């Protein structure tokens, strides 16, 4: 999806920065917030020494460290701030295979932060596996809560004939998805504001979602999943998606669930909502123990682990 001519100068500058970084061979694998904090706490993490430090590790840097045109793009995009006598980028760039994706800098404290990290890589693998083994031709797909656009871009590149919608309630997520689609040269992604599927019409051959699944005291959009120890939003997606799948269509939900005394409350709720002959579904743990630091937060006193899970639901007929 190429950016329209009337898109802001800031968007164009951010796109040009991504093109320059890609041309320079920049790559960065984004880690979890806890790992990022530990690595940056080391002595060598206090000040950037190269582009990966600036745009991956979110470290402060002197203006002389980057090229004049990179600094100009940062300034034109309004994504650079002073940190004492140094500068700091307010965006990060991370790699996923041959994609380069812009998202929010660490730490992701702002309400409208756009997250990318280990969950994004696991989500991408769920989509890759489905597309590789599913014979159904995808005509109309949607990525719910698209964030940086990972799901939409992977589907759009694999099914170039398909119409792919990327929806989110966060305007910054929509902006970053549009820039990432333009950088990837993807022409079949439309970016639309929507609270889950409420703001768009039609039925879909493929629905994908990687929703937030934590209890977040700050209720940040990218992180807070609501009730059921963060699983409420995932359940809402299941409820909406089952009404919007075309016959033979599939929902891929990558999420997380807080396990209490060996009990998976999301799985129990899914069983009730998908009972009967209308749907075939499978549910599996991708990783039995993620974001262990969350267990120190209020509300998690009885939680023994947080598991990353993948739910696949197909409408029969």
In-domain check, residue 112: no
Whether 50 and 155 map to the same domain: the answer is: no
Whether 135 and 182 map to the same domain: the answer is: yes
In-domain check, residue 111: no
Crossing angle of helices 118-133 and 150-158, rounded to 10°: 30
Whether 82 and 122 map to the same domain: the answer is: no
Q: How many helices (H) and strands (E) does the chain have?
A: 10, 12
- CA-CA distance, 26 to 153, in Å (whole number)? 20
Beta strands in the chain (DSSP E): 80-83, 86-89, 91-96, 99-104, 140-144, 163-168, 189-193, 204-209, 245-260, 263-264, 279-287, 303-315
- CA-CA distance, 262 to 285, in Å (whole number)? 13
Structure-block tokens of residue 210 = 């990687």
In-domain check, residue 54: yes
Whether 100 and 123 map to the same domain: the answer is: no
pLDDT digits (tens, 9 = 90+) for 49-105: 999 999 999 999 999 999 999 999 999 999 999 999 999 999 999 999 999 999 999
Whether 97 and 180 map to the same domain: the answer is: no
Domain interval for residue 23: 9-104
pLDDT digits (tens, 9 = 90+) for 26-57: 999 999 999 999 999 999 889 999 999 999 99
Per the CB < 8 A criterion, the answer to whether 74 and 48 are in contact is: no
Whether 130 and 86 map to the same domain: the answer is: no
Report pLDDT for 253: 98
Whether 141 and 283 map to the same domain: the answer is: yes
For residue 161, what is the domain's CATH number?
3.40.50.150
Long-range contacts for 225-230 (Cβ within 8 Å, ≥24 apart)? Answer: 225/255, 228/265, 228/266, 228/269, 229/257, 229/258, 229/260, 229/265, 229/299, 229/300, 229/303, 230/256, 230/257, 230/258
Mean pLDDT of 159-163: 95
pLDDT at position 142 over 80: yes
- CA-CA distance, 265 to 30, in Å (whole number)? 30
Q: What percent of the chain has pLDDT over 70?
A: 98
Place of tokens 């890609």: 22
Report pLDDT for 1: 46
pLDDT at position 5 over 60: no
Following DSSP, what letter does each residue of 159-227 receive, concatenated? -TTSEEEEEES-HHHHHHHHHHHHHHT--SEEEEE-STTTT--S-EEEEEE----B--TT--TTTB--H
Q: What percent of the chain has pLDDT over 90?
A: 92
Report pLDDT for 7: 59
Whether 257 and 175 map to the same domain: the answer is: yes
Q: How would you classify residue 219: left for phi > 0, otherwise alpha for psi between -120 and 50, otherwise beta?
A: left
Whether 65 and 192 map to the same domain: the answer is: no
pTM of the predicted structure, to 2 decimals: 0.95
| Domains of the chain: total | 2
Whether 133 and 261 map to the same domain: the answer is: yes
User: Which of 210, 154, 147, 207 lies closest to 173 in space, CA to CA?
Assistant: 147
Whether 218 and 246 map to the same domain: the answer is: yes
Mean pLDDT of 182-187: 96
Averaged pLDDT of the chain: 95
Q: Residue 96, SS3?
A: strand
In-domain check, residue 4: no
| Domain final residue, candidates 104, 127, 143 | 104
């Amino acid at each position: 999806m190429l950016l329209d001519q009337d898109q802001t100068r800031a968007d164009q500058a951010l796109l040009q920065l991504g093109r320059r970084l890609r041309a320079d061979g920049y790559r960065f694998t984004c880690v979890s917030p806890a790992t990022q904090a530990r690595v940056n706490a080391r002595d060598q993490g206090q000040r950037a020494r190269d582009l990966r430090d600036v745009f991956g590790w979110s470290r402060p840097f002197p203006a002389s460290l980057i090229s004049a045109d990179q600094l100009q793009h940062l300034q034109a995009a309004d994504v650079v701030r002073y940190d004492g006598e140094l500068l700091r980028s307010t965006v990060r760039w991370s790699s996923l295979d041959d994609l380069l994706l812009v998202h929010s800098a660490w730490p992701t404290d702002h309400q409208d932060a756009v997250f990318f990290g280990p969950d994004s890589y696991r989500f991408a693998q769920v989509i890759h596996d489905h597309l590789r083994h599913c014979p159904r031709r995808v005509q109309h797909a949607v990525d719910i809560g698209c964030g940086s656009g990972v799901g939409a871009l992977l589907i759009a590149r694999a099914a170039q004939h398909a119409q792919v919608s990327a929806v989110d309630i966060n305007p910054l997520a929509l902006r970053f998805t549009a820039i990432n689609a333009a950088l990837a040269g993807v022409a079949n992604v439309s970016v639309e504001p929507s609270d889950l599927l409420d703001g768009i019409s039609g039925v879909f051959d493929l629905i994908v979602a990687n929703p937030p699944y934590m209890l977040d005291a700050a209720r940040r959009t990218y992180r807070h999943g609501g009730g059921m120890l963060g699983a409420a939003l995932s359940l809402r997606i299941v409820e909406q998606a089952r009404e919007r799948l075309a016959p033979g269509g599939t929902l891929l939900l990558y999420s997380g669930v807080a396990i209490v005394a060996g009990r998976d409350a999301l799985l129990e709720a899914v069983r009730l909502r998908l009972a009967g002959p209308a749907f075939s579904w499978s549910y599996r743990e991708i990783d039995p123990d993620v974001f262990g630091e969350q267990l120190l937060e209020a509300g998690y006193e009885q939680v023994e682990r947080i598991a990353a899970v993948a739910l696949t639901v197909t409408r029969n007929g």
